[in-house]
Structure 1
Amino acid sequence: MSHDLLVNLGSSLLAFLVGWLARNLFAYFRSSRPVDRLWQINRHTPVTAVVSSAGERNVFWESDALAAMSIRQGLARDLKIHSVATIRSVAFNMAAHAEENIVLIGGPAMNSVWKVYADRLNAPYEFRLNGNDYTIEPLDGGASFGKSRGPDGGSRDHALVILARNPFEPRSRLIMMAGCDSLATLAAPVVFSPGYARDLTRRFDTSKPLALVLAVEDVGGYMPKPAIVAHAQFTQPPGV
C-alpha cells in the first residue's frame, strides 16, 4: 500500500511539474520572449529613464511621468527587472549614467538629453519646430507627422519611437520615445506590451536599429491601439 501511495504521489508531482513547466514555457514564448527581444536590455548595467523638465528641477511633465511608470511596470512584469531609476533631464548626469540602458521620454523641446543621443544616431526621423508646434520629419523629405483635430472632434497625435544601441556603450540599449504632444508620449510605451512586441518582432529584425512613427487618437476619451504609420530600419554610425 505504501509503495502504491508513493507511486501515486510521484505521478501526481510529475504531472504538476510538467503542467507548471508547460504553462511557464507558453507564457515565456508568448509574452516575455518577444518583449525581451524588443528591449535587448544589458542586464549587467542599470536601466535609467530620463523624462522631460520644464526648466525647473522640481517639475515633471505628467505624460512623461506616466509613460515612465508604464515602462517600469512592464519591465517588472515581463522581464522581472524591478530597479528602474527615473531622472529629470535637467538633473541627468552624463558621467554617471551615459553608458547605462537609457530610456528617453519626451522630445527635444523639453528633454535636453534627447539631442545629445539623437545627434549620435543618424536616425531617419527627427523633431522639427514648425511655427508653435513640433512635427516628426523624415530626413528623406517625405510626409511629416504632427498633431491635428479629427472631423469627429477627436484629437490625433504622432509619436516617434527609436530602438537602438547606446552610442556611448554599444552593449547597452537606447530607447527614445516622444510625441508631438502629450497624448502620443503617453501612448508610446504600448510598443513594449506583449501583444505589440509579438507583432513587432515578427515584422522587423529587432536586432537592428529601428524607428517607428505611431499615430495615436483620442475619440471622446477612447484611445484605439496606436498604429504604425511609418517605419525605417537604419544603420548607426561606425563604432556605436
Structure 2
Amino acid sequence: MSLDLAVNLAASLIAFVTGWLARNALMYYRGSRPVARLWRIDARKPVTAVVGRVNGGKTLWEADALAAMNIRLSLARELKIHSIGTVSSASFRMAAHAEDNVVVIGGPAMNEVWETYASRLDVPYDFRIVEDRYRIVAREGDVSYGETRNAEVKQDHALVILAPNPFEPGSRVVMLAGCGYLATLAAPVVFSPDFARTLNRRFDTSKPLALILSVEDVRGYMPRPEIVAGKQFAQSTRRGTGSLR
C-alpha cells in the first residue's frame, strides 16, 4: 500500500468517525438530553410502572396499559433503559417496590397506588368527584379541569406529576392520569423530545412539577396536546395518610 493511499484512507476514516460522532451528538442533544433532563432518573435503580385495574382487579385498565407501553418505548428509545417492570395496582407491594423509580399510571378511581404517593406530596392539584365525575381541581382557587364533549369535539385533561420519590429521594416518581380514557392515553406525550424541550425551557424541571395537559379528539383527529397549567411545588416531608400495600 502506497503512502498516499494510506493517508487517504486514514483521512476518510477520520472524516467518517467525526461525522458519526457529530450526528450522534446532535441526536443526543435534540432528543435524548431533553428527555433525560425531564426524567432525571437514576438508571441504576429499577423502574416499576403501576397501572390501574377494572372488573374487580382482574383486568388491566386499557388506557393505563397502553400508556405504560408508551412510557416503556420512551425510556428504551431515549434513555436506553430496557428493564422496566409493569405491575397492576393490586400486585404492587411497598416492601418490594416503594424505593424504585415508580411510574404511577391512572388516577384514584382505578389505581389505589396513586393516593399512596400523592398523599406524600404537596401537589397543587387533586382528583375530586364533582357531580359524579372525576375532575382535576386546584387546591387554591376554584379552577378545575375535566371531560367535556359534544357532537364534534371531545376534550379531556390529564394531571402529570414529576418529583423525587417521597420514600427514596434518590429515585423518581412520575404520576400520569386523565379524567378519562383520552387524556390518560395521551399523557406520555410529555416525554417526547419536542415536549421535553418545551418543558425544560418553561420550568425548572430539577424541582417537583405538576402539569395539566389538555387533549382533544375532533371527529377522530387529535391535535397536539397542550400544557394549560403548570406549577412547581415544594417537596413535602410530612407523613401521608394513604394506606400502604
Range into which the TM-score falls when normalised by the shorter chain: over 0.9
Residue 142 of structure 1, CA deviation: 3.0
Superposition map of 1:134-149 within 5 A: 134-149=134-149
- Which one-letter code corresponds to 1:96 in the other structure? A
Q: Determine the structure 1 residue equivalent to 2:170.
A: 171
Aligned counterparts of 1:167 and 1:229: Cα–Cα separation in 2: 26
Q: Which amino acid in the other structure matches residue 101 of structure 2?
A: N
Partner of 1:230: 229
Residues 168-220 of structure 1, C-alpha deviation per residue, up to 9 Å, x if partnerless? 00010000000000100000000000111011111110000000001100011
Task: Give me the TM-score of the superposition, normalised by structure 2.
Answer: 0.95
Aligned to 1:43: 43
Report what 1:80 is aligned to: 80
Pairing 1:1-240 to 2, within 5 Å after superposition: 2-54=2-54, 56-150=56-150, 153-238=152-237
The question of whether the paired residues in 1 share the 8 Å contact of 2:63 and 2:185 is answered with yes
The amino acid that maps onto 1:91 is S
Amino acid in structure 2 at the alignment position of 1:237: S
Inter-partner Cα distance in structure 2 for 1:198 and 1:239: 32
Per the TM alignment, residue 238 of structure 1 is displaced from its structure 2 partner at its CA by: 3.5
In structure 2, what is the Cα distance between the partners aligned to 1:239 and 1:94? 18
**Once the two structures are superposed, what CA deviation does each residue of 1:6-28 show, in whole Å capped at 9, x if it has no partner?**
10110000000100010000001
Question: d(CA) in 2 for partners of 1:78 and 1:2?
Answer: 44
Q: Kindly provide the amino acid, as one letter, of the partner of residue 47 in structure 2.
A: V
Between the aligned residues of both structures, percent identity stands at 61
Question: Is 1:157–1:183's contact at 8 Å kept on the other side of the alignment?
Answer: yes
Work out whether residues 55 and 90 of structure 1, in 8 Å CA contact, stay in contact via their aligned partners in 2: no
Secondary structure of the structure 2 residue equivalent to 1:91: coil
Looking at structure 1, the residues matched to 109 and 34 of structure 2 have their Cα atoms a distance apart, in angstroms, of: 32
Distance (whole Å) between structure 2 residues aligned to residue 187 and residue 50 of structure 1: 17
Where 2:137 maps in the other structure, the secondary structure is strand
CA distances 1:134-166 after superposition (whole Å, capped 9, x unpaired): 00000002310010014x521100000000000
Q: How many matched pairs?
A: 239
Residue 50 of structure 2 aligns to which amino acid in structure 1? V
Deviation string for 1:90-147 (max 9, x for gaps)?
A: 1101100000000000000110000000000010001001122100000002310010
Extract unaligned runs of 5+ from structure 1. none
Distance in 2, Cα, partners of 1:55 & 1:123: 29
User: TM-score, normalized by length of structure 1?
Assistant: 0.97
Unmatched segments (≥5 aa) in structure 2: 240-245
- Aligned equivalents of 1:17, 1:79: Cα separation in 2: 23
Amino acid at match of 1:132: D
CA contact (8 A) 1:57 1:91 kept: no
Is 140-149 or 109-118 further displaced after alignment? 140-149
Structure 2 residue identity aligned to 1:179: G
Where 1:223 maps in the other structure, the secondary structure is coil
Secondary structure of the residue that 2:170 maps to in structure 1?
Answer: strand
Contact 2:61 2:110 in 1 (8 A): no
Q: Which contiguous aligned blocks of 4+ residues in structure 1 show a shift greater than 2 angstroms?
A: 55-58
Distance 1:197 1:48, change over 3 A: same
**Partners of 1:168 and 1:130 in 2: CA distance:** 31
In 1, the alpha carbon distance for the partners of 2:18 and 2:58 equals 52
Q: Distance in 2 between matches of 1:72 and 1:10?
A: 41
